[in-house]
Amino acid sequence: MMENLLKYKLIGIGEFSHGIQESWQFRFDLLKYAIKNTNKKIYIFNEMSVWQGENIMNNTIFSRKLNKFVNYDKIKIEKPIEGGEQKTCWGKLWQYVHHAMESKIFLKIIKYIRKNKDRITIIGVDNDTIDRDYDMYKNIMKDYNPKNINFFWAHNHHVNEQSIPDYSYKYIKNKSHKWYCGYYLKKKLKDDYCIILSQAYQGENRFNGYCIGKDCEKRTWKLKYFYKKFKYDNNKKYVDSSKKYQLLTKYDEPLLNYSNSYFKDYKHGIESLDKNNYTWNYILFWNKVTKLEPFFEY
């Protein structure tokens, strides 16, 4: 199946939660498969800040003391802190990935990329604002080359071609930017863009904050991760105990999606339960998912 995925010019691999292990493992396995079975250049467009991707590729970090980027060949490990306008959590691997995605597996991916810099380039496409999806699309197209293998790693929402929900859209300044990134990619690349959305029957999620109110009117951040179990009964019919995962071409249930923050006012703490009326190629499905393993516990 992996060889079929590599026939596309751009492969968007979504995750229904930033807090599960399996989506990163699948991405990593496909990346290693591409290195082993092709001789093409590989570009990874990842849902992280532009400067974080540059740090990975350039062996740099941002020095708060000097207020500039400096050379640093190792992996920067540091105590978590709260910072930024939204008082988000920085720490450990924040020089290369945001707090919600810090994990042992992402550390392995960074090391693998640096080991194979002659073939792999990772690019951060997030501009760190709410009005970001159109810019994410522009950032991808700026470096997109159909001769390469191109991956887009992000949440299901960004990978998919759905419209931005009202509770986020009201904060976007340019009201013509009403779609998630995948919509613009699909409109531009058509069948060259493969959309893979993820789902599971049950498991455990990792969170780093709470959303309070139906539309996340207030968000609280935690320096320490916390974990919540879930079971989505509608998905039980897709369980196949003989398989580690499945790439489904038929799936007719609403799409369960989590944020990195736990929504207190929703069952299971989900961000959304989207109608399954979008264009996608595959649903990447697991019987059970496990929490994203942190680099170390605080």
Say if residues 233 and 267 touch (Cβ distance below 8 Å): no
The verdict on residue 88 lying in a domain is: no
Chain mean pLDDT for the chain: 92
The verdict on residue 8 lying in a domain is: yes
The verdict on residue 83 lying in a domain is: no
CATH of residue 264's domain is 3.40.1660
The verdict on residue 254 lying in a domain is: yes
The verdict on residue 205 lying in a domain is: yes
The verdict on residue 70 lying in a domain is: no
Domain count, the chain: 1
Phi, psi of 130 (to 5 degrees): -65, -40
Selection from 76, 94, 259 nearest residue 167 by Cα: 259
Render pLDDT for 7-63 as a digit per residue (tens, 0 to 9). Answer: 999 999 999 999 999 999 999 999 999 999 999 999 999 999 999 999 999 999 998
Render pLDDT for 78-127 as a digit per residue (tens, 0 to 9). Answer: 878 877 666 777 887 889 998 888 999 999 999 999 999 999 999 999 98
pLDDT value at residue 84: 65
The verdict on residue 73 lying in a domain is: no
pTM listed for this prediction: 0.95
SS3 assignment, position 269: helix
The verdict on residue 72 lying in a domain is: no
pLDDT value at residue 86: 63
Arithmetic mean of pLDDT, 182-206? 97
Selection from 198, 191, 168, 170 nearest residue 180 by Cα: 168
Domain hosting 121: range is 2-59+100-289
